[in-house]
Amino acid sequence: MGAICPLGHDVASTWNSLIAGQCGIGYVSLFDSAPYDVKIAAEVKNFEPTKYFGSKEVRRLDRVSQFGLVAAREALLDANLKVAEEDMWDTAVVIGSGIGGIMTLTEEHRIMIEKGPRRVSPFTVPMMLPDTITGQVAIHFGIRGPNICVVTACASGVNAIGEAFEMIRAGRAHTAVAGGTEAPINAFSMSAFHNMNALSDYNDDPLHASRPFDKTRSGFVTSEGSGMLVMETLERAQARGARIYGEVLGYGCTDDAFHITAPNEFGPAMAMRKALKQAGLTPRDIDYINAHGTSTVLNDLNETRAIKKVFGDAAYDVSISSTKSMTGHSFGAIGALEAIFCLKVINAGIVPPTINLNTPDPECDLNYTPNTAVKKRVRTALTNSFGFGGHNGTLIVREFVE
């Protein structure tokens, strides 16, 4: 597993911050926010790309690709996997990104307006395309198998892992680097989200701005980062003597077919049902849910209703948390990060909290693990990701037992 996000530059530091209830949200430093309505975000702090890449390469990699490569490198090192020549055609790269290189796009557009079209960088297109990150991972690590970028808004990370799972099950690859990456913190992106009333209005209190399931929630907080997994068939992992964090049991993928931005409960409920059916599990088998839990009024309410619809009375017994209360919402990356969190919950026996849950919404009345992490034996975990366009993805992972 590999991660870089507002809580840390690797999986270990991110996890330690998460279970401590630390918040990665603060005032924007990546651009001058003074003229804009939104002044808070969850940035990857103290990120120095030249620590990982040469100065020339840095100039040709959008921040979204830099994050993805950093997380992929950690995941491959953690898996002790160097892709051999005989395996490179059967190793896949499946990575989600909802927006891609928007920093490059907006900066080069500014240059064109201010200095003329001839000053636009010839590297603009390969830096801004969402699928650039999959190509960069392939180039950096010598992976020549199936190479796919998943663009399903905020469901992209879960969908990427789910599609890699299906690819391996179908025999189209025996190994995959799968996950998500995003770097959307700029004035244009955040202004667009603000103008559709999606973002939190707690500009004066960033540490408490993301408050999923709380009655006073007002929107999500934009975030950035990347999460990556190395996925393999069980036979290959065991033959290599790999450390196995868990196994993927089920994947559900649906669309609401309802509204381009507003959610409803039926699509998410069916995604969970599909994942449970494929896994051969009942709701009572799920010990933990990492909720999509964005801190928007509609999402948190509809996800709660969807969980109740699927789980029935068991909805009140399962432990739930929204880690976006600490990480913010990194769109295409967040589902992959939250899949990592589920695997860490299983391995560490600790459920991370939903911080800032001080005034519970009466209509959101499940066990969201308010404010403090809880020790708990977790064998099976479910994570949800939902995105604009009505996209829904659910992934179920379980403890691996020899």
List active site positions.
154, 292, 329
Cα–Cα distances in Å, from 274 out to 44, 50, 114, 252, 312? 34, 43, 51, 5, 16
Tokens 């739930």 correspond to 320
Rounded CA gap, 277 and 292, in Å? Answer: 20
Q: Are strands 91-96 and 175-182 parallel, antiparallel or unpaired?
A: parallel
Rounded CA gap, 38 and 234, in Å? Answer: 46
* Chain centre distance of CA 242: 24
205 exposed, middle or buried (CB, 10 Å; 0-12, 13-18, 19+)?
A: exposed
Phi, psi (5° rounding) for residue 180? Answer: -155, 160
Rounded CA gap, 66 and 104, in Å? Answer: 13
Beta-bridged to residue 381, according to DSSP, are: 288, 397
Rounded CA gap, 259 and 252, in Å? Answer: 20
Cα–Cα distances in Å, from 175 out to 69, 88, 288? 17, 9, 27
> Residue 276, CB half-sphere, CA atoms under 13 Å: how many?
18
115 exposed, middle or buried (CB, 10 Å; 0-12, 13-18, 19+)?
A: exposed
Which among 389, 356, 370, 45 is positioned nearest to 219, based on CA atoms? 356
For CA atoms 151, 155, 158, 159, the dihedral sign is negative
